[in-house]
Amino acid sequence: MVSVEDYGNYETAWCPGCGDFNILKALKAALANLGKAPSEVLIVSGIGQAGKLPQYLNCNFFNGLHGRTLPPATAAKLANHELTVLAVAGDGDCYGEGGNHLIHAIRRNPDITILVHDNQIYGLTKGQASPTSERGMVSKIQREGVFNNPLNPIALAISQECSFVSRGYAGDVQHLTELLIKAIRHRGLSLVEVLQPCVTFNKLNTFKWYSNRVYKMEDGEYPLDDRVKAFEKSLEWGDRIPLGIFYVNERPVLEDNHEVLRDAPLIRHKPNTEKVNVLIDGFM
């Protein structure tokens, strides 16, 4: 039996009150609830406050470059598809620097869960606007307010038929835990976009700001495979912000497309030295 304690309890470098603490708590609870032992789990992250999360968990992790969370996560899943793989990223990491990787990961559909800590700001680098910052938000850099339109990651993911699209809130650990359980269980690329207050640099989107606006979607509000209804729902943002699962699209996963992976994970294949030698000889 796996417990939350198996995932450890580490000192963090996050600011007191940061929404990231509750995301860590929800993730531990979800993994324990799913009975996943730490050795069965790999978390891949980039750079950022969000990217620090796997350092505070007792499981396999790979901490790579900013914006480059999804390529190593996809590669690891292909190397050993028996692993439960999560990619953890900030809004800057996943939607800015790594935005192109997100689009192509959606197309490829590996069975991994993307957990995005969306604090609508660059936290680690001390408060510049991110792709999801609200228009008009004033920061130390955007002194006249943000000019650009914010990205709508939920609408983007639905438009590209992402296999599982959801939104949670760091102020509701129970709901976020349930969402993570469903996202990790889902076979295919799962996006869990989490509204995460950055108490130090984002003075606009605070716990109070989110709590006054979020609401949980009713089960059965619309069929979850209805892309048009899901897209319509994804446009709701402002006085009311929906939380929950927006869209589910069951389709073949990347690993299923590769014949070589059907019998056993790549890591258990014995190298065929004869074929490798033929390949090497070709370069001689």
How many whole angstroms separate alpha carbon 39 and alpha carbon 139?
41
Position 93 contacts ligand TPP (CB under 6 A): yes
Position 139 contacts Mg ion (CB under 5 A): no
Taking CB within 5 to 8 Å according to partner kind, which of ligand SF4, ligand TPP, Mg ion, none is near residue 14? ligand SF4
Taking CB within 5 to 8 Å according to partner kind, which of Mg ion, ligand TPP, ligand SF4, none is near residue 56? none
* Residue linked to tokens 């994804």: 234
Of 28, 29, 59, 67, the residue at the interface with ligand TPP (CB under 6 A) is 67
Binding to ligand SF4 by CB under 6 A, coded x per residue (else -) over 94-133, reads -------------------------x---x----------
Taking CB within 5 to 8 Å according to partner kind, which of Mg ion, ligand SF4, ligand TPP, none is near residue 201? ligand SF4
Position 89 contacts ligand SF4 (CB under 6 A): no
Q: Which stretch binds ligand TPP (CB under 6 A): 56-64, 89-97, 135-143, 184-192?
A: 89-97
Tell me which residue of 148, 63, 161 sits closest to 105, measured CA to CA. Answer: 161
> Are the C-beta atoms of residues 150 and 135 closer than 8 Å to each other?
yes
> Considering beta carbons, is residue 48 or 150 the nearer one to ligand TPP?
48
Q: Which residues bind ligand SF4 (CB under 6 A)?
A: 14-15, 18, 20, 49, 119, 123, 198-201
